C-alpha cells in the first residue's frame, strides 16, 4: 500500500475542487450555509455527519449535478461519481456498462478490458449485470468511474450496502487505485472506521455547515486496533456528538 503523503507535500498540490461561500437552498430550507471546502490532487477527504446535514448535496455540487444558490464552485479536469447503488444497465453487458456512450469506439472492448483489469474483473467483460454479486457490481461502477481518468473521484456511500468482508475488500481496492492514479478523492460515509481507514482529512458537517476538520496522520495500511487509530476515533465521536447536540 502507498506511503502516507506528507501534509506539506499535500498542501503544495494543485486544487482540483473548491467551494467558496457556497449556499444551497430549496425554498425556505437551507441545506448548505456558506460553506468553504477545498480538495487537492492526491488528497482523500471523508465527509461525515448526521443524515440531512448536506453531505450528499455538497458531493452533487462538486459533480455538477446540482447548482448552488450562492457562492462559487470550481472544479478542474475530469470528475467521476460512484453512487450508493452501482446503477448498472441490465440490458447491457459489463463492458458496455463501463463505457456507456463510448461503446461504439473502434477499440471499445480493449478500453473496457483495461478498466476492468484494474478492479480485478477482466473475466467478467462479457457478463450480464444480473450474474454479478453486489461487490462485483460495485467494482464495475468503480471501473466505469476510473475509465474517465478522473482528476476528482466522488464516492457517495458506495460500500454501505455491502457485507463487512466485501466492504473492506473494495475499500482496499479504492486505496490501491488512488495510490496508482493520485486523483483527488471525496467520500461520503456514516462509518467513522471507514473514514479513518481511507481519509487524509475528515470533515464533519452539521446543520449545513462544516463544524470540525481532523487530519489523519497515520501510515497506511491503518490498523483499526492501534491506540493511535482509536484515539482519533474517540476524538471524532466526541465531535460527532457535539454536532448533533
Ordered DSSP codes for 98-111? HHGGGTTSTTHHHH
Grid coordinates representing 218 are 497515520
Inter-axis angle of helices 134-147 and 164-181, nearest 10: 10
- Reported as a single tens digit per residue, the pLDDT across 93-121 is 999 999 998 888 888 889 999 999 999 99
State the Cα–Cα distance between residues 212 and 214, nearest whole angstrom. Answer: 7
Position 7 pLDDT exceeds 60 = no
Q: What is the DSSP letter of 234?
A: H
The DSSP bridge partners found for residue 73 are 19
pLDDT at 160: 83
- Reported as a single tens digit per residue, the pLDDT across 24-42 is 999 999 999 999 999 999 9
Q: 8 vs 205, which has greater pLDDT?
A: 205
Position 5 pLDDT exceeds 70 = no
State the Cα–Cα distance between residues 89 and 168, nearest whole angstrom. Answer: 25
No. of H helices and E strands in the chain?
Answer: 8, 9
Average pLDDT over residues 18-23: 96
Confidence of residue 125 (pLDDT cuts 50, 70, 90): very high
- Reported as a single tens digit per residue, the pLDDT across 126-175 is 999 999 999 999 999 999 999 989 999 999 998 887 888 888 898 999 99
Contact 225, 189 (CB under 8 A): no
State the Cα–Cα distance between residues 105 and 109, nearest whole angstrom. Answer: 9
7-88+152-244 belongs to CATH 3.30.70.100: no
Grid coordinates representing 107 are 477499440
Average pLDDT over residues 41-62: 93
**By 3-state DSSP, what share of the chain in percent is helix, strand and coil, each rounded to 5?**
40, 25, 35
Q: Cα dist. 91→88, 101, 138, 219 in Å?
A: 9, 14, 17, 43
Strand 201-206 to 44-48 pairing: parallel
Contact 43, 184 (CB under 8 A): yes
Percent of the chain whose predicted confidence (pLDDT) is above 90: 76
Q: Name the average pLDDT for the chain.
A: 90
Grid coordinates representing 103 are 461503446
Confidence of residue 185 (pLDDT cuts 50, 70, 90): very high
Average pLDDT over residues 179-185: 95
Amino acid at each position: 500500500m502507498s506511503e502516507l503523503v506528507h501534509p506539506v507535500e499535500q498542501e503544495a498540490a494543485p486544487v482540483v475542487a473548491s467551494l467558496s461561500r457556497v449556499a444551497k437552498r430549496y425554498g425556505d430550507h437551507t441545506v448548505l450555509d456558506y460553506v468553504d471546502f477545498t480538495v487537492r490532487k492526491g488528497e482523500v477527504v471523508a465527509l461525515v455527519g448526521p443524515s440531512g446535514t448536506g453531505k450528499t448535496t455538497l458531493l452533487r455540487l462538486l459533480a455538477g449535478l446540482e447548482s448552488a444558490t450562492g457562492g462559487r464552485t470550481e472544479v478542474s479536469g475530469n470528475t467521476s461519481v460512484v453512487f450508493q447503488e452501482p446503477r448498472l444497465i441490465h440490458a447491457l453487458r459489463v463492458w458496455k456498462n463501463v463505457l456507456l456512450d463510448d461503446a461504439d469506439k473502434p477499440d471499445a472492448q480493449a478500453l473496457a478490458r483495461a478498466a476492468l483489469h484494474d478492479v480485478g474483473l477482466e473475466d467478467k467483460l462479457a457478463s450480464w449485470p444480473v450474474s454479478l454479486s453486489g461487490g462485483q457490481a460495485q467494482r464495475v461502477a468503480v471501473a466505469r468511474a476510473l475509465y474517465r481518468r478522473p482528476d476528482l473521484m466522488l464516492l457517495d456511500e458506495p460500500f454501505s450496502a455491502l457485507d463487512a468482508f466485501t466492504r473492506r475488500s473494495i475499500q482496499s481496492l479504492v486505496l490501491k487505485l488512488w495510490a496508482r492514479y493520485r486523483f483527488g478523492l471525496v467520500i461520503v460515509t456514516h462509518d467513522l472506521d471507514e473514514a479513518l481507514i481511507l481519509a487524509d482529512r475528515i470533515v464533519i458537517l452539521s446543520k449545513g455547515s462544516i463544524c470540525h476538520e481532523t487530519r489523519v496522520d497515520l501510515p497506511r495500511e491503518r490498523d483499526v486496533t492501534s491506540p493511535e487509530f482509536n484515539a482519533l476515533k474517540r476524538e471524532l465521536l466526541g465531535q460527532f456528538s457535539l454536532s448533533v447536540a
